[in-house]
Amino acid sequence: MSGAISAGAYTAGVFDFLIEALEAWEAARGRADVPNHRVGLKAMSGASAGAITAAIGAIALADAESKGPGQYGEYIRDGFAFRYTLPRLYEAWVARPTFVAEASNVTDLLSDSDLKKEWSGEADFSRTTDLPPADPKAPAVVTSLLNARLLDEIAGDAIAVKQLAQTPRAYISTTLHIYLTLSNLRGVPYLVPFNGGDYHMISHGDRVHYGVTGLGGWPSASAFGDSDPQRAVDKTELAGSQAGRNKWKDFSICALASSAFPVGLAPRLVGAKQAEYAQRRFPMEDIVEDKTIVPNWRPPAPASTPFRFACADGGIIDNDPFEYARFALKEESELKTPPAECVLTLANRAVIMITPFPEEKPILPDGEPSTDIVSLITALMPSLIDQARFKPDELALAACEDRGSRYLIGPSRDDENNVQQRYGIASGLLGGFGGFVARAFRDHDYQLGRRNCQRFLQASFAVPEGDPIVESWPPAVVRENYKAIRTKEDDENNRPDYYCLIPLIDKAAAPVERPKWPRISMDEFNKLQDRIATRFDLVAPLLLNQNVKGVLGALLGLVLLPVINKIPGLARDKALAFIKWTIYADLVRRDQIEDWTLPGNLGLENDDARLILAELLNPKYDLRTVNGILRAVGPSASREIKAAEVETMLQTLKTQSGRHFQVWEAPDDWTAKYGTKLYALVIRAPSAVSGYLAVGLGLDFFKPTFDAD
């Protein structure tokens, strides 16, 4: 389960339906007309949002409140029923995490409870229970721009299971191996000996391995997972002694540590023992059984020595930890070699990767970044993250075209005419934080995850005709009922029929309804901006007090913060404006805000027209040129857009008086001065005063920024 920030709601929806399908099949097992083979779940691995879903998903499997076959929880909005079968997972991903809570007395990501005092005892999820608790009398410290205390509440509620499920699930392994990736900011030291001296390295890519028992009744071993150091936790400990409950609390804290998005969400402190690293197995064929790879602890200490470290988002270094799931499925004889059963007709195991953002990530255009210091520094961090996530060993395995051991479920959204839409998930704006803007976005994605999982089980997770699994079905099974959906390519290439590996039984076969694409109102958008400003005014002075002392801090306060009589500070206004227009641009680009229904005479598809409008909202520039807009939208447009088409669209929108998307064109003297036509939306057009100062008086300080031709 990949890292995805708020788009984890999609991952959670996929997992929700997967469990529904397995439960329905298990309930029907023994009927003569139902396929009698088994599919079992042995391991889960996750990063960031995927770690949260894996952890709470495991807890949901232990919860007696989870729905049985054919039963659903529902949330009704605008006549549509958003369904779920794992209430604990739905609550954690859809109902709770938001920038602006519907009720004023509820913690949200922009409230101030984290700035008042540290929590302690049961409520403190900032550190694992083997570490000293936070000092409740310590002054408030800003640990993140957003209020991560909300995540503490969600984690606390998640492990507060009132009643445990009594019967182990037959399709879950007796030990469910769960791997959560961490970015260990302290680092683990290693040494490479050479003749003549030693070479030292530090690894920051870390993980925690849990072996969860009591959830399942399938006796299944894992050559990799069983021999890898693990933290053991049992289902019964959720409702057992304090020591047992603390194990589950630490489990949830490790998931929070994996999802601690740098700066945005608070880091977590994790306690470990050096023994956890002594016999650690690496998911790489060449070294998986090499037990000589041990940390170079200095000074040497017993294996029981505590090792404590702060964690940031596990997705920084390993955002898609499918290698841990792959190795957990290996037999002992396969640990040193890639799996022989890669071919579909031989495969009996598979890794399913759930990722809300599988799309291609384009490289920078030719000439970028430029060689100035700021551009290089800006490009450096994304480059380091991309390199850390690069997995050449997995590329080699992908060479087998007929592989039947790896599958992917990514967002796919069609309309009522079965036409694929440009944007799959509603939470994709703001780099993945957009789902926190509105519950409607998260509800959509959870439901879409359920719908996409159902389609995946019907069309992709299947074996061909003649496979031993299919041949073993009882004679009374009507194979036609479990035939996988055929595609146009299947017919054109005369491919054989395929049959579903997880058959959809009874209500699990009923189509998951298509959710309506969600939009927020301008009132909701404006309320969000007010809350952002309030949070900014609370966090900024605390950050200054923490990091800048004395006269310098006071002077910076005059510039950065509102002062006497709430006179706005220059930097404050610029920061809030940048945030506002960035969010607004993404909402417009993705058609997720109301009152932006475009006229039908623009000469472009609506999706492409919105790309252009979003560029007019881009806070990086005050004004835009046609060529600058074309350069920006080129990689995203559905086809190559011509300059004349953009010019025609902008001229047409100049006539849309009173609409949000009415376009303003700079006067002729501006064109003469700057050598190009300049455009903006009327809602962002420069004032008469600033225009006169910039052009009439020629004051460069007031010169608008624009993308020069």
Q: Tell me: do 422 and 398 sit in the same domain.
A: yes
Residue 254 binned pLDDT confidence (cut-offs 50, 70, 90) = very high
Give the per-residue pLDDT at 558. Answer: 52
Spatial CB neighbours of 625, under 8 Å, sequence gap ≥ 6: 676, 677, 678, 679, 706, 707, 708, 709
Residue pLDDT, tens place only, 47-105? 999 999 999 999 999 999 999 998 999 999 999 999 999 999 999 999 999 999 988 88
Catalytic residue of the set 2, 6, 45, 48 = 48
Q: Which of 306-310, 341-345, 696-700 comes out lowest in average pLDDT? A: 341-345
Q: Tell me: do 505 and 529 sit in the same domain.
A: no
Single out the residue of 289, 312, 307 nearest to residue 297, CA to CA.
307
Count the Cβ atoms, other than its own, within 10 Å of residue 19.
23
The DSSP symbol for 486 reads: P
Residue pLDDT, tens place only, 535-544? 999 998 888 7
Strand partners, 353: 408
Query: Could you say which of 448, 480, 509 is where a domain stops?
Result: 509
Residue 554 binned pLDDT confidence (cut-offs 50, 70, 90) = low
Within a domain: 473: no
Q: Tell me: do 531 and 437 sit in the same domain.
A: no
Residue pLDDT, tens place only, 465-495? 999 999 999 999 999 999 999 988 888 888 8
Give the chain's mean pLDDT.
89
Q: Tell me: do 629 and 564 sit in the same domain.
A: no
Count the Cβ atoms, other than its own, within 10 Å of residue 135.
10
Give the per-residue pLDDT at 604. Answer: 93
Count the Cβ atoms, other than its own, within 10 Å of residue 177.
24
Cα 379 vs. chain centroid, distance in angstroms?
A: 22
Inform me whether the pLDDT recorded for 589 exceeds 80.
yes
Q: How far apart are CA 435 and CA 446, in angstroms?
A: 11
Give the per-residue pLDDT at 543. Answer: 83
Within a domain: 471: no
Q: Tell me: do 584 and 641 sit in the same domain.
A: no
Active-site residue 48, yes or no? yes
Query: Could you say which of 488, 509, 530 is where a domain stops?
Result: 509
Q: How many domains does the chain have?
A: 3
Q: Which of 230-239, 527-536, 549-558, 644-653 comes out lowest in average pLDDT? A: 549-558
Within a domain: 325: yes
Residue pLDDT, tens place only, 175-190? 999 999 999 999 999 9
Residue pLDDT, tens place only, 209-224? 999 999 999 999 999 9
Give the per-residue pLDDT at 570. Answer: 64
Q: Tell me: do 391 and 535 sit in the same domain.
A: no
Spatial CB neighbours of 126, under 8 Å, sequence gap ≥ 6: 118, 119, 134, 143, 152, 266, 268, 269
Q: Tell me: do 530 and 668 sit in the same domain.
A: no
CB 609 within 8 A of CB 636: no
Catalytic residue of the set 206, 313, 445, 608 = 313
Give the per-residue pLDDT at 410. Answer: 94
- Give the rounded percent of residues in the chain with a pLDDT score beyond 70: 93
Q: Tell me: do 536 and 684 sit in the same domain.
A: no
Q: Are strands 663-665 and 679-681 parallel, antiparallel or unpaired?
A: antiparallel
Structure tokens at 691: 């225009």
Give the per-residue pLDDT at 566. Answer: 45
Q: Tell me: do 447 and 561 sit in the same domain.
A: no
Give the per-residue pLDDT at 560. Answer: 52
Report cis status (omega within 30 of 0) of the bond before 299.
yes
CB 520 within 8 A of CB 438: yes
Query: Could you say which of 534, 560, 595 is where a domain stops?
Result: 595
Within a domain: 585: yes
Within a domain: 354: yes
Q: Tell me: do 253 and 215 sit in the same domain.
A: yes
Domain range for 559 is 520-595
Higher per-residue pLDDT: 675 or 647? 647
Within a domain: 600: no
Within a domain: 645: yes
Q: Tell me: do 243 and 155 sit in the same domain.
A: yes
Q: Which of 119-128, 140-149, 499-508 comes out lowest in average pLDDT? A: 119-128
Q: Tell me: do 586 and 625 sit in the same domain.
A: no
Give the per-residue pLDDT at 675. Answer: 87
Within a domain: 470: no
H/E element, 573: helix 570-589
Single out the residue of 394, 440, 444, 396 nearest to residue 424, CA to CA.
444
Active-site residue 405, yes or no? no
